[in-house]
């Protein structure tokens, strides 16, 4: 089977958690699966920007990105964060190849049209998975940072959830898993919803039961499911070691997002 796993937040910040995620990914490959990893690094980027004296601002979960912030994102996401994840997977005997979405034109971006303007924030306009296929052919795991190259020659900061969905669609993945800082999608009663259908999402948004960074994540879930990805699951990063069990056993952690 083919998996796309998206990592972000504490999974990239906590060394023990990062080690566990690397182990789970290596085990998925050892079981005969092809795995691509897409990662963000918002916490690390915010910290670096603060060190540079820049304040981070967000609109609907998306970072306002001027040229200086974009350059910092390129340095942090495609640099230190990407290589730390490659090392975590490699420590379990599984080779991994780190790249940004701009390498090999795997993902091309266009400027996201928003009000207010978010600067160098992009959305995926095109994808070419041939490099990912080549890496899989060599038995390795592609590890992709959420930076993409625009047709105008500029790099754009892309929401990692959106890139993960695009990656799953373009590679015709069977399963897309979001490893997150939260236990899953919570309903109005505050409890984690084990099952969430796409028709339920607009009401959750309208009632502001879900907000912030969960909004682009659920939009990414919707996009993936409506474009051929069979399974989408939001799973707490603490449960990363359950990844190899998703296809063979009943996993109760997190939220399974379904078409209906």
Model pLDDT, residue 62:
82
* Total structural domains within the chain: 1
- 82 is known to lie in a ligand binding site: no
Residue with tokens 């060190």: 51
- Residue of 78, 69, 71 whose CA lies nearest to 40: 78
- 41 is known to lie in a ligand binding site: yes
The answer for residues whose C-beta is within 8 angstroms of residue 212's C-beta and 6 or more apart is 58, 60, 61
Report residue 152's pLDDT band, with 50, 70 and 90 as the boundaries. very high
- DSSP states of the chain: -EEEEEE-THHHH-HHHHHHHHHHHHHHHHTT-EEEEEE--HHHHHHHHHHTT----EETTEE-B-HHHHHHHHHIIIIIIHHHHHHHHHTTT--EEEEETTGGGSEEEEE---SS--BSEEEEEEE-THHHHHHHHTT-EEEEESEEEETTS-EEEE-HHHHHHHHHHHTT-SEEEEEESSSS-B-TTSSB-SEEEGGGHHHHHHTTSS-TTHHHHHHHHHHHHTTT--EEEEEEGGGGGGGGGTTTS---SSEEEE--
- 63 is known to lie in a ligand binding site: yes
Report residue 98's pLDDT band, with 50, 70 and 90 as the boundaries. very high
Model pLDDT, residue 258:
94
What is the residue-averaged pLDDT of the chain? 93
Mean pLDDT value across residues 49-71:
91
Mean pLDDT value across residues 58-67:
87
- Residue of 1, 20, 15 whose CA lies nearest to 235: 20
CB distance 253 to 242 below 8 Å: yes
Q: Residue 79: count other Cβ atoms within 10 Å of its Cβ.
A: 15
- 157 is known to lie in a ligand binding site: yes
Q: What are phi and psi of 212, to 5 degrees?
A: 60, -135
List the single range of 72-76, 104-108, 204-208 with lowest mean pLDDT.
Answer: 204-208
For residue 248, pLDDT over 70 is answered with no
Mean pLDDT value across residues 182-195:
91
The residue among 249 and 187 whose pLDDT is bigger is 187
Q: Give the Cα separation of 180 and 37 in Å (integer).
A: 14
Residue 50's domain is classified under what CATH number? 3.40.1160.10
Report residue 211's pLDDT band, with 50, 70 and 90 as the boundaries. confident
The residue among 223 and 11 whose pLDDT is bigger is 223
Mean pLDDT value across residues 102-119:
94
Q: What is the pLDDT of residues 3-55, one digit of tens each?
A: 999 998 878 988 999 999 999 999 999 999 999 999 999 899 999 999 999 99
Report residue 100's pLDDT band, with 50, 70 and 90 as the boundaries. very high
Q: What is the pTM of this model?
A: 0.94
Q: Which domain holds residue 235?
A: 2-258
């Amino acid at each position: 089977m083919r998996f796309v796993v998206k990592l972000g937040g504490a999974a990239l910040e906590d060394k023990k958690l990062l080690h566990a995620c690397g182990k789970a990914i290596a085990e998925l490959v050892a079981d005969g699966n092809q795995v691509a990893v897409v990662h963000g690094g918002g916490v690390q980027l915010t910290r670096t920007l603060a060190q540079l004296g820049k304040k981070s601002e967000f609109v609907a979960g998306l970072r306002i990105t001027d040229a200086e912030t974009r350059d910092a994102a390129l340095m942090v996401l495609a640099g230190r964060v990407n290589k730390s994840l490659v090392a975590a997977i490699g420590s379990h005997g599984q080779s991994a190849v780190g790249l940004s979405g701009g390498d090999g034109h795997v993902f091309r971006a266009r400027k996201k049209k928003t009000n207010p303007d978010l600067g160098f924030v992009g959305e995926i306009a095109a994808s070419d998975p041939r490099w990912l296929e080549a890496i899989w052919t060599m038995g390795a795991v592609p590890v992709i940072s959420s930076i993409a190259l625009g047709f105008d020659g500029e790099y754009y900061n892309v929401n990692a959830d959106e890139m993960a969905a695009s990656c799953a669609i373009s590679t015709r993945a069977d399963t897309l898993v979001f490893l997150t800082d939260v236990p899953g999608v919570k309903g109005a009663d505050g409890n984690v919803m084990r099952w969430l259908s796409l028709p339920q999402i607009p009401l959750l948004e309208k009632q502001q039961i879900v907000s912030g960074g969960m909004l682009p994540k659920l939009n990414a879930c919707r996009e993936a499911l409506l474009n051929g990805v069979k399974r989408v699951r939001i799973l707490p990063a603490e449960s990363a070691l359950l990844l190899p069990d998703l296809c063979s056993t009943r996993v109760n952690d997190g939220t399974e997002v379904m078409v209906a």
